[in-house]
Amino acid sequence: MAKKIVLAIVILILIIFFGILFLGNDTIDIYNDGENVTVETTSFSTIDKSGLSNEICDYTLEVMNDTGSDIASYRHGIEDICNQYGLEDVDINIDSSIGPNQIPIVVTVDGTSMLPTLKDGQTALVNKTHDIHVGDIVVADSEEYGGIIKRVDQIKGNDIHLVSDNKNISYEFINGELYQIKGISTWVDISDINGVVISY
């Protein structure tokens, strides 16, 4: 009888040991559809999982609006947040509506400068990347115009020339003066590009 008890204890210890071994590290699963972010935390530590998830969600929204962020800096930021909660060596799984290790953003078109391609008020799905090519439609942050959505016309090193699709020119009297109204044509640095439109 004593041998059976000892054997049962040894088996139980082995099950616990291998269970911990195979369960692996703490895990953070993040899903982003371009508007909504969900975070699931699997941890064997006694941490504030709700606080950690909320902080990662808030950080994700910041990253979506920061032109300088990419998937590598995003992952590093999540690791820093996890470290603040006492989690080290965390498995971080980033998934999205456009695939793993991508950061989608849903934007709303404001204005008619991208007609006929994009209409005022229309939404577009953007992949947050600096991997751009001539002909792509991108979302950028322009010093002159603020947030814009335009087509890549030229690439010269890190300088990107953006233009409107709408080539119509009109004239309008404003405060008694005649103004020419036409689409934007401007240069931005590649670091000012927030991402490439992938569907609309």
pLDDT at 74 over 90: yes
The pTM is what?
A: 0.76
Question: Rounded CA gap, 144 and 24, in Å?
Answer: 50
- 15-73 pLDDT per residue, tens: 655 554 445 589 999 999 999 999 999 888 888 999 999 999 999 999 998 888 889 99
Question: Rounded CA gap, 141 and 148, in Å?
Answer: 6
For the residues 95-117, what does the mean pLDDT come to? 94
- Within the chain, all domains assigned CATH 2.10.109.10 are found at 104-199
Question: Rounded CA gap, 162 and 53, in Å?
Answer: 37
Q: How far is CA 14 from CA 3, 8, 18, 19, 183, in A?
A: 16, 10, 6, 8, 70
Q: What confidence score (pLDDT) does residue 1 get?
A: 63
For the residues 154-181, what does the mean pLDDT come to? 88
Q: What is the dotted CATH code of the domain comprising 104-199?
A: 2.10.109.10
Looking at the chain, the whole-number percentage of residues with pLDDT higher than 90 is 70
* Contact (Cβ atoms closer than 8 angstroms) between residue 101 and residue 71: yes
- 185-200 pLDDT per residue, tens: 999 999 999 999 999 9
Banded model confidence at residue 135, pLDDT cuts 50, 70, 90: very high
Q: Check residues 152 and 168 and name the one with the higher pLDDT.
A: 152
For the residues 145-150, what does the mean pLDDT come to? 94
End-to-end CA distance of the chain: 72
* Contact (Cβ atoms closer than 8 angstroms) between residue 114 and residue 149: yes
